[in-house]
Amino acid sequence: MLKLKTPKTHRAKREIEKRAPKFVENGKKTLILHGTKTSGVLNTVLTQIYHLKRDNAVKYTKKNENIRPFESGGETSLEFFSLKTDCSLFVFGSHSKKRPNNLVLGRMFDHHIYDLVEVGVENFRPIESFEYDKKLTPRIGSKPFFAFVGEGFESVEELKHLKEVLLDLFRGEVVENLNLAGIDRVFVCTALSSSTVFLTHCALRLKRSGTAIPRMELVEVGPSMDLVVRRHRLPNDSLKKEAMKTTSGQPKKKIKNVSSDVLQGKMGKIYIPDQKVGGITLSSDVKGLKRERREAKKRKVGIENEAKKRKTAAD
């Protein structure tokens, strides 16, 4: 997809239109992949995250050795995959001695890396280890609640960043209408220390209470893990500004009679209403009227003279 391809079928054209930048965007898709070396725990983590986000996630199974998100050259593959699958979130897992059970959660803007958070997974408990009533299992695609407990999420920069990323990752599509009967799940994140967050996924049970508002009951169902923030990279300011741009939503108002040219700059057109030439009253001092006035005078004088003559004749 690096060369410019024009769609030749209607189907392809529609696909491209789906991926085009829009004012109200589609839900973000996640790409889950791993590097050369992974551990058992990490594999389970990745698969379970994939299960949580089944509808809008893509999981790659191959080893990718040339992906190093924090290095300057190591992100080209990631960007390419993001472009190909139209994913703007990614979860990259790797395992090494220095960074065991490493997860890199990242976001993309225009298919280029926007920001990254590197976390280590500790004390992971998979879905299978929880015992619960199977009827309570949250359904795929249901909108989750979030609970962030702890002051760390406000004060510590890394945790703030992580909070944002987790929100982005698990939020799903932004909706306006919510069916209250469809509330299924909640993600509870507790800031244990300035660098550790305990993340767990619970199902919600709405219990009958006396009032119209039901009682919430949390039943832990999903994977729970401790995330230790290792390093993170925030976006640079200009990029952030660009990404956070929003407008009121109305397309620009057409400014009439203003045009711009590269040579002349901004130009405006002024429309003058038609002059009613016939209706304009001429001033009495106009030179052209001189002759007329003169003649009028002569006539007047002539009439007077005649009148005088008649008078004298009569006399």
Partner 1 sequence: MSRGRNFPITVAPSCRREATASKLQTVEAAAKQGGTSPQIEAEKYQIDWGSLVASDPTHHSQSIPSSRFVFRVATIKISFLPNGVLDWSPDRAETPSFTTAGADEGTELVQAIPDSLFALPSSDDPDGPVVLLPQPTTKLPREKHLFDEYLVLSGTKCNEFVFWAAFSLARIEFPVIFPLAFSCDKLLDLPEPKPPTKWELFAKMKGIKKHKKEKHALDEQAEPGEDPFSKRKAEKKKRIEKQEKNRPGNLKQAAKVGALPRLSLFPKLPRDIELRWNLATNGSHAPKKASKKELEDVAGMAATATASGGKFDKKIARGEISQAHWEFLLLVERKGMSSQEKQQTAKILDQLMSKSSHDILDVNKARFVAITMFNVKAEKQTEEGKGTRHISYSKEAEAKNGNPLKNLQKRNTR
Member of 14, 18, 36, 55 binding partner 1 (CB under 8 A): 55
Q: Is 257 in the site for partner 1 (CB under 8 A)?
A: no
> b/e for 259-276, b at 16 or more Cβ within 10 A?
eeeeeeeeeeeeeeeeee
Closest CA to 123 of 268, 36, 237, 223: 223
Closest CA to 168 of 146, 139, 194: 146
Q: Is 72 in the site for partner 1 (CB under 8 A)?
A: no
Closer CB to partner 1, residue 104 or residue 186?
Answer: 186
| Choices 251-259, 268-276, 283-291, 298-306 (CB under 8 A): range interacting with partner 1 | 251-259
| Choices 69-77, 256-264, 284-292, 307-315 (CB under 8 A): range interacting with partner 1 | 256-264
Closer CB to partner 1, residue 37 or residue 172?
Answer: 172
Q: Could you tell me which residues come within 8 angstroms of residue 234 by beta carbon, excluding any fewer than 6 positions away?
A: 115, 157, 161, 240
Minimal distance in Å, beta carbon 60 to partner 1? 20
Q: Is 202 in the site for partner 1 (CB under 8 A)?
A: yes
Member of 14, 43, 174, 299 binding partner 1 (CB under 8 A): 174
Closer CB to partner 1, residue 34 or residue 187?
Answer: 187
Is the C-alpha dihedral spanning 189, 190, 192, 198 positive or negative? negative
Member of 8, 9, 11, 20 binding partner 1 (CB under 8 A): 20
Q: Could you tell me which residues come within 8 angstroms of residue 277 by beta carbon, excluding any fewer than 6 positions away?
A: none
Q: Is 175 in the site for partner 1 (CB under 8 A)?
A: yes
Q: Is 273 in the site for partner 1 (CB under 8 A)?
A: no
Minimal distance in Å, beta carbon 219 to partner 1? 5
Q: Could you tell me which residues come within 8 angstroms of residue 57 by beta carbon, excluding any fewer than 6 positions away?
A: 29, 30, 31, 32, 49, 50
Integer Cα distance of 305 and 299 in angstroms: 10
> Interface residues for partner 1 in 97-126 (CB under 8 A)?
107-111, 114, 123, 125
Closest CA to 51 of 170, 123, 137, 140: 140
> Interface residues for partner 1 in 282-311 (CB under 8 A)?
none
